[in-house]
Amino acid sequence: AGVTQNPKFQVLKTGQSMTLQCAQDMNHNSMYWYRQDPGLGLRLIYYSFDVKDINKGEISDGYSVSRQAQAKFSLSLESAIPNQTALYFCATSGYGFLTKNIQYFGAGTRLSVL
C-alpha cells in the first residue's frame, strides 16, 4: 500500500480540531508532513527521523504531531483557522546512504476550514 492517509477530504468550521492520520508499510524511519497551497509548492510542517525524534519544519505554527510508532505519524490542528485550508501530504523516506532522501508520498488530505 505504501503511504496511506486518512481522511481524504475534511471540512471543518473555524475553531474545530482534527487529526490527520498517516501510516506507512515501507519500513522507513523518517516521516514528514507537508502542505500544498496553490502557487506555493510543498512546504514542510513537521518531520521525524525516528520514533523519539520530532522536529519543526518551515511552517509549524498552529500544528502539532505525534509519532505513535515507526509506521504512524499524525498531524493535529487544535483550533482550525481558514488559512489552514490546503492539501496536506504525508511522506516517508529511508534516509540512507543508498536511498538518500527520496521521499514517497501519500495521496493527500484535502482540508477546508470555513
Partner 1 sequence: DQQVKQNSPSLSVQEGRISILNCDYTNSMFDYFLWYKKYPAEGPTFLISISSIKDKNEDGRFTVFLNKSAKHLSLHIVPSQPGDSAVYFCAASAWNYGGSQGNLIFGKGTKLSVKP
Q: Which residues bind partner 1 (CB under 8 A)?
A: 3, 32, 39-44, 47, 55, 57, 89, 91, 95, 100-108
CA 47 – CA 73 distance, rounded (Å) = 9
Residue corresponding to grid cell 487529526: 19
43/72 with CB nearer partner 1: 43
Q: How far is the CB of 37 from partner 1 (least distance, A)?
A: 10
Q: Are strands 30-37 and 18-24 parallel, antiparallel or unpaired?
A: unpaired
57/62 with CB nearer partner 1: 57
71/88 with CB nearer partner 1: 88
* 102: helix, strand or coil: coil
